[in-house]
């Protein structure tokens, strides 16, 4: 079996499993799953803004601990939740903030080869930035994991997001999922027909053929999806089966978030 095909099949299968796992978590019996999606979108947006306005690391750390507590109350696995944020964060935000370690004026903290000096102020700035970004991403990820994608997109209308954009996002998500299934089937089919090892040129040829076939299938599927939507009465606006109803639980959650955000903003001013 070709190593390249094996890796491609494994990666596509992992993406499918992650998508299914995220959808399954959004339907669990948890705290955040019981809230109205519209209330969650507005409240989490307010929490993210508050996290970026705060100037106190202890307050942002407390907000992150609150995020972990909400994840636990919503039946989101702690290990999965933490890894999704902090494994990738150093490679993106860390690389962007790396120059601040050496360029920010302040007392020296460590001396490195080539005359590089890490300042105490620079290290504090980088850690503060990582904490702030990590908290913001954790809040956004928690919102996505505890809300079905269709309900989340429908809730964006509260923020006056155009209906056309909401519909495009919804179709894109589902369409990507369909393409992943097709890709997985194509790689699995090719794998079952390969005996022995392939050369590098043969691997590239097979992967190129799969990519070309996938492109043709995606174009064909897009036309079929649009015709199917029109035949079912689509006229530019997507209706949901569950419009949602705001209850006392949603009002209590909104009031608690409003008090917390108000306190953070007051201390930040």
Check: CB of residue 141 under 8 Å from CB of residue 85: yes
Of the candidates 170, 214, 158, 218, the one whose C-alpha atom is nearest the C-alpha of residue 8 is 214
> What would the pLDDT profile of 131-177 be if each residue is shown by its tens digit?
999 999 999 999 989 988 878 888 887 778 887 787 777 777 777 77
Mean pLDDT of the chain: 81
Residue 64 has pLDDT above 90, yes or no: yes
Global pTM?
0.77
Of 161, 165, 160, 178, which Cα lies nearest the Cα of 225? 178
Domain count, the chain: 1
| Residue 238: pLDDT over 80 | no
pLDDT > 70: percent of the chain = 86
pLDDT above 90 covers a percentage of the chain that reads 22
Structural domain of 34? 3-268
Report, as an integer, the average pLDDT of 251-258: 94
Q: 186-206 pLDDT, tens per residue?
A: 777 777 777 667 677 777 777
- What is the C-alpha to C-alpha distance for residues 257 and 254, in angstroms, rounded to an integer? 5
The predicted model gives 28-40 an average pLDDT of 90
Cβ-contact 215, 1 below 8 angstroms: no
How far, in Å, CA of 169 to CA of 176, rounded? 11
């Amino acid at each position: 079996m070709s190593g390249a095909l094996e890796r491609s099949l494994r990666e596509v299968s992992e993406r499918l499993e992650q998508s299914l796992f995220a959808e399954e978590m959004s339907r669990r019996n948890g705290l955040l799953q019981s809230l109205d999606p519209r209330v969650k979108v507005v409240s989490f947006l307010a929490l993210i803004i508050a996290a970026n306005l705060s100037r106190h690391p202890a307050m942002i750390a407390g907000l992150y601990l609150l995020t972990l507590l909400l994840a636990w109350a919503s039946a989101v696995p702690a290990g999965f939740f933490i890894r999704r944020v902090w494994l990738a964060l150093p490679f993106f935000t860390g690389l962007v903030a790396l120059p601040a370690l050496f360029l920010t004026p302040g007392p020296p903290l460590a001396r490195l080869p080539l005359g590089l000096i890490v300042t105490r102020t620079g290290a504090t700035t980088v850690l503060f930035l990582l904490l702030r970004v990590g908290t913001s991403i954790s809040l956004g990820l928690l919102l996505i994991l505890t809300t079905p994608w269709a309900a989340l997109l429908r809730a964006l209308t509260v923020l006056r997001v155009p209906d056309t954009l909401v519909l495009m996002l919804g179709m894109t998500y589902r369409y990507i999922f369909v393409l992943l299934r097709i890709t997985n089937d194509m790689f699995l089919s090719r794998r079952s027909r390969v005996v022995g090892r392939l050369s590098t040129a043969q691997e590239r040829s097979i992967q190129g053929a799969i990519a070309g076939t996938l492109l043709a299938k995606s174009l064909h599927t897009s036309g079929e999806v649009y015709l199917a939507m029109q035949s079912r009465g689509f006229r530019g606006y997507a209706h949901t089966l569950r419009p949602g109803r705001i209850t006392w639980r949603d009002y209590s959650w909104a009031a608690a978030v409003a008090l917390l955000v108000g306190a953070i903003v007051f201390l930040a001013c």
